[in-house]
Structure 1
């Protein structure tokens, strides 16, 4: 999706890939819900949907093009997910609303919400967190992609967020903190969250926007990566090599 255009939100895909894979591996199609709060993260769900046959691979060729519903920054009409939004900080409110509606309707659906750490600078996130804990919405699990990257630079140079886990705990949430690039750990955390009763859960996933591609330069802008043809070829070659049966990564 990124290579043909030479630029795009590759860093978000790299930081959230294991989280997206874990959710799509555990969520029950047709029942559970997925909210992608930061719209530029939608590239991950698009890729996962193709792997599961939920989206035609040919559709990805229209990624980011004018008039395409496979958008570079997701909107309310984006396929695959139940809700996404361009304005940051709104996704948790949507997830809480979906979960409350499901409870009132007697549904056993779970709601998974992908959030970014930069969004925690938005007051609406914490209002939603208070509401979710007050109503004991244990069907909600937040995957918080703590990649320390936002458009203005490293998140910790803009606003001090840590201790993130303690903040969520003080709001009445069940909190787990994991290596966000350990798919097994993320899956285990999601399974554990599903067993928690009477409070929602948040999994703080520590990640990097260049994880999984050694060819990316050290100074690559994690928020919006430029990918000229030579670097795109190097990235594809590296990924293909990792997928060989004899590779230690497989």
Structure 2
């Protein structure tokens, strides 16, 4: 199948609709297994919609998904953007599929995903520095980082290096959903004030509502124009977009039995109709 990227989405309303289409595809992928990384797709849907349709140029730029389990959202966004055959999503998480539940070096539609958490920013810094040394002045590297990863020292080593070298073609988007496998991030290790920490390492930092597509698009545009590495801290929730999820839903690894999956899909389809 000859895939070509879709034309950029211009309005915040179109981005919001695209985010819900990403959620719907993620629901269908998780429904095949009855449980999975749905919460990560719900929290990052607007982030990924903005990246894939307002930033990413496949022939010039790179996308790094640092937390490998977030790749479900990237697969959905790529399918919606003409960069991945939508039929392939039916193989997500199955034995032998390139679309594994946790991204690997084989994962399509992204330039790198990482197994161990906390490594993606280092790789993105390497891409950005390589582009500078090779004279690829127009190339950009975008990396998605989770807030739980900010507990890893390697993230801050990479941030310090990028700030020192003023890698101005590097943009990090932090999905700050306050969720990790052990519980709320705020209860495991205090990482606030997040934006001030990045600024201390020489980054241009903004803190926005990660489900507000207008605010996200404006923040990403400002990040791309910064004269230094830039980070957007996107405040999100692992249940946003699905009112049908129970109040006690574990957003890190959502259980989605058939009946709940049907309700979730119906809710999103009704909103998209």
Q: TM-score range by the shorter chain?
A: over 0.9
Q: Distance in 1 between matches of 2:266 and 2:57?
A: 34
Q: Distance in 1 between matches of 2:31 and 2:213?
A: 25
- TM-score normalised by the chain length of structure 1: 0.96
Gaps of 5+ in 1: 245-250
Q: Distance in 2 between matches of 1:204 and 1:48?
A: 20
Q: Counterparts in 2 of 1:96-107, with a 5 A limit?
A: 96-107=125-136
Q: Distance in 2 between matches of 1:85 and 1:63?
A: 17
What's 2:94 paired with?
65
- TM-score normalised by the chain length of structure 2: 0.88
Q: 8 Å contact 2:68–2:104 — kept in the other structure?
A: yes
Runs of 4+, deviation exceeding 4 Å = none
Q: Kindly state the Cα deviation for residue 77 of structure 1 after the two structures are TM-superposed.
A: 1.9
What's 1:17 paired with?
45
Q: 8 Å contact 2:53–2:81 — kept in the other structure?
A: no
Q: Counterparts in 2 of 1:141-152, with a 5 A limit?
A: 141-152=171-182
Q: Kindly state the Cα deviation for residue 51 of structure 1 after the two structures are TM-superposed.
A: 1.0
What's 2:189 paired with?
159
1:110 is matched with which residue: 140, 151, 164? 140
- Count of residues in Structure 1 that have an aligned counterpart in Structure 2: 243
Q: Distance in 2 between matches of 1:30 and 1:72?
A: 26
Q: Counterparts in 2 of 1:92-241, with a 5 A limit?
A: 92-107=121-136, 108-197=138-227, 199-241=228-270
Q: Kindly state the Cα deviation for residue 54 of structure 1 after the two structures are TM-superposed.
A: 1.1
User: Which one has the bigger helix percentage?
Assistant: 2
What's 1:247 paired with?
none
